[in-house]
Amino acid sequence: MKTIIVPVDFSHQSENALKLAAKLAGENKGEIIVLHMLELNYAMISSAESFHPEQMVLMIKGAEKRLGEFLDKPYLKDVKITPVIKHYKVFSEVNEVVKQHNADLIVMGSHGSDGLKELFFGSNAEKVVRNAEVPVLVVKKDRPDFQVDTFVFACDFREESLEVFQKAQEIAGMFGASFRPVYINIPGDSFMSTGEINRQIAKFLDKANAGLEVDIYNDYSVERGVLAYCEALGADLIGVPTHGRRGLSHFFMGSIGEDIANHSSIPVLTFRM
């Protein structure tokens, strides 16, 4: 976590993310890339007839001024900050910024139970999370004492989850946290017997070369199971894989991953598969 990207829209939610990122950067002698997306009219950036250079300059200057004021905070005093302003609607620019600065984490603020749907430029936020090539930490509240002692990683323990599982384990090590992988067993088509689950987990851990114990938690839905398990355990961070272009709405099945991010009061760290 040497280079952290924080998308901001000047809201309280994005400031919560910025505060948490500042804490992580300070602890790891890292830097923060503060990314603001200009909300430009589509015609302005695609049509020569509607393009007014002087208007564009004014908008950029205004955004730079506001961003400078937003970053004038005591908690950023000793943190290296690089402000970046990009165009609205160009989601690939987030990954371009990731590559340009060799970033290894994105921290994003979220609006309460609305979760990702209203994040810094509306429903487009899910596209950023869905396509991000690095882990994305979603946080809802101001967490000045953020510390990860227990990191729960919810997984289906199939081979396609192997890489993100190992990445999650690595991040748990960076935090010095206890890594607690869990499988949520639910009724219906996804139900597996104890023997089936244990065999699948054992095969997965062997490929991961991980000498870990995996908890199996039974509930009526994956979301309820993950949240109940984390609450009982007193978890500080929840990790979930995402499925690239299909995004959070296809973690495990249905809209489970999105529901976890939306309804969890605990910070959620997503990993693109």
In 3D space, the residue among 132, 106, 169 whose CA is nearest the CA of residue 273 turns out to be 132
Confidence of residue 209 (pLDDT cuts 50, 70, 90): very high
Q: Say how many domains are in the chain.
A: 2
Asked if residue 268 and residue 154 are part of one domain, the reply reads yes
Q: What CATH number did the domain enclosing 250 receive?
A: 3.40.50.620
Question: 98 in a domain, yes or no?
Answer: yes
Asked if residue 157 and residue 251 are part of one domain, the reply reads yes
Question: 11 in a domain, yes or no?
Answer: yes
Asked if residue 7 and residue 133 are part of one domain, the reply reads yes
Beta strands in 51-197 (DSSP E): 80-87, 105-109, 136-139, 150-154, 178-185
Whether the Cβ atoms of residue 33 and residue 97 lie closer than 8 Å to each other: yes
How would DSSP label each residue in 32-45? EEEEEEE---HHHH
pLDDT tens digits for 61-90? 888 899 999 999 999 999 999 999 887 655
pLDDT tens digits for 139-193? 888 998 999 999 999 999 999 899 999 999 999 999 999 999 999 999 987 788 9
Asked if residue 179 and residue 69 are part of one domain, the reply reads no
Asked if residue 171 and residue 90 are part of one domain, the reply reads no
Q: Which of 112, 139, 166 is the last residue of a domain?
A: 139
Asked if residue 76 and residue 44 are part of one domain, the reply reads yes
Q: In what order do the strands lie in the sheet with 150-154?
A: 80-87, 31-38, 3-7, 105-109, 136-139, 268-272, 237-242, 150-154, 178-185, 215-218
Q: Which of 94, 115, 139 is the last residue of a domain?
A: 139
Asked if residue 82 and residue 163 are part of one domain, the reply reads no
Helical packing angle, 222-233 and 256-263, nearest 10°: 40
Q: Which of 139, 170, 193 is the last residue of a domain?
A: 139
Range of the domain at 160: 150-272
pLDDT tens digits for 109-119? 877 555 454 44
Q: H-type helices in 102-252, by residue range?
A: 124-131, 162-175, 194-208, 222-233
Which residue, chain included where needed, has tokens 């997965």?
Answer: 204
pTM score, two decimals?
Answer: 0.86
